[in-house]
């Protein structure tokens, strides 16, 4: 089932509006996947990005998609094969660090809503011209962070961003306060070591704190 870019962005705006933080997850052992999703949802974060950086990633998505109230997506999509595998695993959406025609065509062909990455005004404009207006700003801090996003807001008011990369508890409120930021992506909520050490109570507490961030704006 194909999906036009406008519909893709509409769905991604809905997902990005569900919570102020999308956890960026690196899962190395599929046996931890389901409980990780349950803990994050219990803490108030329902939209989860599992990065395709480990051999366990696709099986982890399969293990997480049936968790009640969880919307599980695949991150670090780079190729059309990544898109196909993510869709077959049951991912509800995809996230990419950038955007290529191959990747965009594949997501549109397979009907996978995409949060494509952009770091400059030109990249954002190219995606907007194709119909994408909900974008990942990556790498956020290395690309100029809050000041760059502020600068993009006036000439590109149609675009909303999800900054990811270097976003942490010390700067997250500054990002969320921007008019063109719907949410942020962050790994601090469930770091790889915390998942590996089964620190479920700590992860749930961090998720609960992150879920309340919108109240601080």
Contact (CB, 8 A) for 65 and 72: yes
Indicate the helix (H) or strand (E) that contains 129. helix 121-130
Task: Tell me, yes or no, if 92 is annotated catalytic.
Answer: no
Q: Spot the catalytic one: 87, 92, 108, 136.
A: 136
How many C-beta atoms lie closer than 10 Å to residue 123's C-beta? Answer: 16
Q: Spot the catalytic one: 28, 49, 109, 123.
A: 49
Distances (CA, A) of 173 to 18, 20, 170: 17, 10, 8
Tell me which long-range contacts 155-160 makes (C-beta under 8 A, separation of at least 24).
155/121, 156/121, 156/124, 156/125, 156/128, 156/180, 158/128, 158/133, 159/124, 159/128, 159/133, 159/134, 159/135, 160/13, 160/16, 160/133, 160/134, 160/135
Contact (CB, 8 A) for 109 and 136: no
Task: Tell me, yes or no, if 87 is annotated catalytic.
Answer: no
Q: Which residues contact 159 (CB under 8 A, 6 or more apart)?
A: 124, 128, 133, 134, 135, 152, 180
Active-site annotation, residues: 49, 136
């Amino acid at each position: 089932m194909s999906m036009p870019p406008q519909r893709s962005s509409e769905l991604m705006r809905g997902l990005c509006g569900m919570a102020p933080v999308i956890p960026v997850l690196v899962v190395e052992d599929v046996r931890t996947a389901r409980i990780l999703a349950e803990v994050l949802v219990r803490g108030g974060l329902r939209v989860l990005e599992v990065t395709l950086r480990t051999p366990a990633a696709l099986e982890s998505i399969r293990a997480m998609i049936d968790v009640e109230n969880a919307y599980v997506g695949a991150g670090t999509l780079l190729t059309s094969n990544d898109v196909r595998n993510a869709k077959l695993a049951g991912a509800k959406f995809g996230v990419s660090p950038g955007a290529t025609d191959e990747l965009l065509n594949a997501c549109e062909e397979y009907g996978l809503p995409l949060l494509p990455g952009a770091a400059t005004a030109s990249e954002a404009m190219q995606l907007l011209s194709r119909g994408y207006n909900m974008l990942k700003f990556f790498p956020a801090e290395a690309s100029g962070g809050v000041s760059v996003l502020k600068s993009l807001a006036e000439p590109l008011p149609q675009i909303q961003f999800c900054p990811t990369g270097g976003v942490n508890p010390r700067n997250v409120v500054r990002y969320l306060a921007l008019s063109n930021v719907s949410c942020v992506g962050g790994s601090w909520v469930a770091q790889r070591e915390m998942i590996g050490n089964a620190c479920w109570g700590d992860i749930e507490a961090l998720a609960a704190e992150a879920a309340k961030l919108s109240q601080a704006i």
